[in-house]
């Protein structure tokens, strides 16, 4: 059995042998719970602030949708979604003009992506959201790929005006200190639960299913 954490493309599971079970774990709901707790505590018992979930680009709409579902469930609020379209003049061009689709005026925006490496896409997204009236901008990406000694993305993001902070998981080992604007969320409990359920032949896909949590879950450690 193979357990993967937020593959860039779900079809990558097809590279494994057909007789090898492949579990695709998505930590987005854990990150959504993190932001819910942060915003709830900041409200100090008041109303939950207006929030918008923003897909970093067209390819992240599915991840952002799942993130939004969990945040809506936890907060009890209607949370709109937006996305940033990458508009390139020519297919081979690396530079692009970001186009925001959706209304983020006066809202705390959470950008959802799967990987942050150079930070350029995130920087452009932050600028675009602030120019369109966002109150504040946060970001979530499962994998922070900053391991190369020549990668100065953490320092660039620290200096990015308008970015409150970027939340990443600890899926990639980092032998360098991270600046204040980059926070790490441990996925160890998620992986441990998945492994325990696999050993006891229990459902893995239902770990982060909030509908399933309404019922008393069958426990392998009872």
**Cβ-contact 163, 179 below 8 angstroms:** no
DSSP 15: G
Residue 127 burial (CB count, 10 A) = 16
pLDDT digits (tens, 9 = 90+) for 45-75: 789 999 999 999 999 999 999 999 999 999 9
pTM assigned to the model: 0.88
Residues 6+ apart with CB under 8 A from 196: 220, 221
Query: Which range in 8-12, 19-23, 67-71 is most confidently predicted, on average pLDDT?
Result: 67-71
Whether 182 contacts 154, CB under 8 Å: yes
Instruction: Give yes or no: 86 in active site.
Output: yes
Which two tokens mark 49?
Answer: 């602030």
Catalytic pick among 69, 73, 86, 130:
86
């Amino acid at each position: 059995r193979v357990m993967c954490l937020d593959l860039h493309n779900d079809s990558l599971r097809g590279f494994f042998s057909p007789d090898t079970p492949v579990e695709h774990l998505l930590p987005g709901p854990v990150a959504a719970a993190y932001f819910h707790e942060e915003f709830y505590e900041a409200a100090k018992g008041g109303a939950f602030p207006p929030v918008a979930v923003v897909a970093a680009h067209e390819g992240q709409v599915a991840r952002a949708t799942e993130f939004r579902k969990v945040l809506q469930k936890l907060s009890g609020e209607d949370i709109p979604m937006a996305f940033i379209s990458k508009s390139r003049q020519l297919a081979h061009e690396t530079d692009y003009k970001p186009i925001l689709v959706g209304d983020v005026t006066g809202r705390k925006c959470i950008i959802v992506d799967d990987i942050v490496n150079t930070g350029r896409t995130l920087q452009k997204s932050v600028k675009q959201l602030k120019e369109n009236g966002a109150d504040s901008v946060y970001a979530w990406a499962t994998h922070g790929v900053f391991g190369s000694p020549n990668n100065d993305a953490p320092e660039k993001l620290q200096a990015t005006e308008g970015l409150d902070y970027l939340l990443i998981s600890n899926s990639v080992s980092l032998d360098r200190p991270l600046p204040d604007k980059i926070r790490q969320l441990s996925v160890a409990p998620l992986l441990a639960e998945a492994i325990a359920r696999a050993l006891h032949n229990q459902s893995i896909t239902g770990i982060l299913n909030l509908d399933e949590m309404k019922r008393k879950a069958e426990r392998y450690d009872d």
